[in-house]
Amino acid sequence: MNASKQLGMRIKYLRGMRRLSQEDLALESGVNKNYLSDLERGMRNPTVKVLEKIAIALDISLSELFKGIESF
């Protein structure tokens, strides 16, 4: 599985752990809901700025966002 797909799954998992809908996380982070949906499905390659917004909205560090993601 590629890193984009793993990152998307990680964001979806963390969002679920905080019981946030995609819409809630989109509003909290300022990231478009459709973009977030694509990101969670591994269809987008986000910038560091977007990842930082998501991490802040999830109340975690960027390093925590990437925890467990391996590239091949």
Domain segments of the chain: what residues?
3-65
Look at residue 72 and tell me whether its pLDDT is greater than 90.
no
Q: Sign of the C-alpha dihedral, residues 41, 49, 47, 52?
A: negative
pLDDT band at 63 (very low <50, low <70, confident <90, very high): very high
Nearest residue to 55 (alpha-carbon basis) of 7, 3, 6, 23: 7
pLDDT score for 15: 96
Residue type present at position 63? S
Class for the domain spanning 3-65: mainly alpha
Whether the model pTM is above 0.85: yes
The Cα 50–Cα 35 span in angstroms is: 10
pLDDT in tens, 15-62: 999 999 999 999 999 999 999 999 999 999 999 999 999 999 999 999
